[in-house]
Amino acid sequence: MDNLRRRADALAAVRAFFAARDVLEVTAPTLRPYTVTDVSLDSLSVGEGFLQTSPEAYLKILLSLSAPSIYSLGPCFRADEVGRLHNPEFTMLEWYRLGFDDAQLMEEVAALCDVLLGSADYETHAYADLVNRVPESDVGPDIAGSERFDRALARLPRGRHFIVDYPAEQAALARLRSDRQDVAARFELIIDGVEIANGYWEETSSAVLEQRFANDLASRREQGLPEPELDAEFLAAMRWGLPDCAGVALGFDRLCMLAAGKTSIEDVLPKWR
């Protein structure tokens, strides 16, 4: 019961935070006929479609139809994700701010985390700088870039850290910086070694997005992974036009875990066992 009360208080605090900023809450569907192409994500398929890995596509469709700044707070699903920081069903907070860039959204992410965790300082690190700090003796010549990054994260001290300027090949759905096409306007927030949020200054070109999805499918084919049908509803909305905005997905269960001083999301999930 204490866990349920703490969780209810956190949910209320999130909703109050966005109400004060005039950001509209919407209920995103958890079941749609389409899923993501992202190679790093495995979807759960059911008879009528897919349980959603995030509300991103639905929220962006609404934005293309002239919705204001919006957020969704609810369940999402990912296959084969079980562990201290993972559960097949989890709660995601995702929001989009019209007219924001990634720097402005980072400030808002920090403000929300301060509400739930208490105020603290935040350090910002460029992806390349962080990776380059890892001694060669720790990685060796055969370590892939992604593993080097993981080792760089493991070396971060406790505290709150924003990682910015991800390599262009890791842009996902973020735009590339106009002054530096080799890096993306993407950030992640790491708190005490836990990945909490992943945000973008959103790419708005439908042609760019379609090419990235095609690249995803090609990678899936090479790796022998399922190749989902492209999300026709989302692509139609992107061709109609996504307004200039920044968006972020935040792991609500992980934030509750940190707020409660726990080390596993199992300790804060609304379970009866």
Whether 272 maps to a domain, the answer reads no
Whether 85 maps to a domain, the answer reads yes
Query: C-alpha dihedral over 16, 252, 159, 38, to 10 degrees?
Result: -130
Q: What is the pLDDT of residue 145?
A: 64
Q: DSSP per residue over 183-252, as a string?
A: EEEEEEEEETTEEEEEEEEB---HHHHHHHHHHHHHHHHHHT---PPP-HHHHHHHHH-PPSEEEEEEEH
Q: How many domains does the chain have?
A: 1
User: Looking at the predicted structure, is the pLDDT value of residue 162 above 60?
Assistant: yes
SS3 215: helix
Whether 273 maps to a domain, the answer reads no
Each residue's pLDDT tens digit, 71-101: 999 999 999 767 899 999 999 999 999 999 9
Query: What share of the chain has pLDDT > 70, as a percent?
Result: 95
Phi and psi (nearest 5°) for 242?
-90, 125
SS3 183: strand
SS3 113: helix
Question: Is the pLDDT higher at 188 or at 148?
Answer: 188
Each residue's pLDDT tens digit, 165-217: 999 999 999 999 999 889 999 999 999 999 999 999 999 999 999 999 999 99
pTM of the predicted model, to two decimals? 0.94
Instruction: Give the span between the Cα atoms of 110 and 120, in whole angstroms.
Output: 9
What's the domain range around 160? Answer: 2-267
Instruction: Give the span between the Cα atoms of 196 and 251, in whole angstroms.
Output: 5
User: Looking at the predicted structure, is the pLDDT value of residue 273 above 60?
Assistant: no
Each residue's pLDDT tens digit, 16-62: 999 999 999 999 999 999 999 999 899 999 988 999 999 999 999 99
Whether 257 maps to a domain, the answer reads yes
User: Looking at the predicted structure, is the pLDDT value of residue 142 above 60?
Assistant: no
Whether 121 maps to a domain, the answer reads yes
- Give the chain's mean pLDDT: 93
Which residue type is seen at 32?
R
Give the H/E segment covering residue 94: strand 89-98
Q: What is the pLDDT of residue 80?
A: 76
CATH number of the domain to which 6 belongs:
3.30.930.10
Whether 87 maps to a domain, the answer reads yes
Q: What is the pLDDT of residue 172?
A: 94
User: Looking at the predicted structure, is the pLDDT value of residue 144 above 90?
Assistant: no
Whether 37 maps to a domain, the answer reads yes
pLDDT band, residue 272 (cuts 50/70/90): low
Each residue's pLDDT tens digit, 204-256: 999 999 999 999 999 999 999 999 999 999 999 999 999 999 999 999 999 99
Q: What is the pLDDT of residue 257?
A: 96
Instruction: Give the span between the Cα atoms of 107 and 92, in whole angstroms.
Output: 19
Its sign, for the CA torsion 171, 244, 17, 122, is positive
Whether 114 maps to a domain, the answer reads yes
